[in-house]
Amino acid sequence: MIGQNEYYEGKVRSLEFANAQGKFTVGVMEPGEWTFEAPTREWMILTRGSWDVKLPGSDQWKTFGEGDSFQIEGNESFTVRITDTVAYLCPYT
């Protein structure tokens, strides 16, 4: 079953799946500033576009480009700032 998620009134959407490699979401985020809570460890891999990220415990924006990734531990939140729509892949545990 491919799950479907929607956040922030549809400005962020993702598809959820699992395979032999593990659990994943793939998603799209429109321009805006979006905060997410990660319930478990996850990795955000940018597949198209760029974004600025406020990592957990940081008050500084850090810029990531295509192919870049960052890791989030469980029960942490992070914020992304997007000026042009991006696509991402998110393996999670």
Q: Which stretch binds a second copy (CB under 8 A): 18-26, 35-43, 56-64, 72-80?
A: 18-26
Size, binding site for a second copy by CB under 8 A: 27
**Pick 47 or 55: Cβ nearer a second copy:** 47
Scan residues 49-88 and list those touching a second copy (CB under 8 A).
49, 84-87
CB contact set of 1 (below 8 Å; sequence gap of 6+): none
CB of 33 to a second copy, least distance (A): 17
- Strands ordered across the beta sheet of 22-29: 3-7, 12-19, 22-29, 86-92, 42-48, 69-72
Of 34, 48, 45, residue with least CA distance to 5: 34
Q: Does residue 33 bind a second copy (CB under 8 A)?
A: no
| Interface positions with a second copy (CB under 8 A) | 1-2, 4, 10-15, 17-21, 24, 26-28, 30, 47-49, 84-87, 89
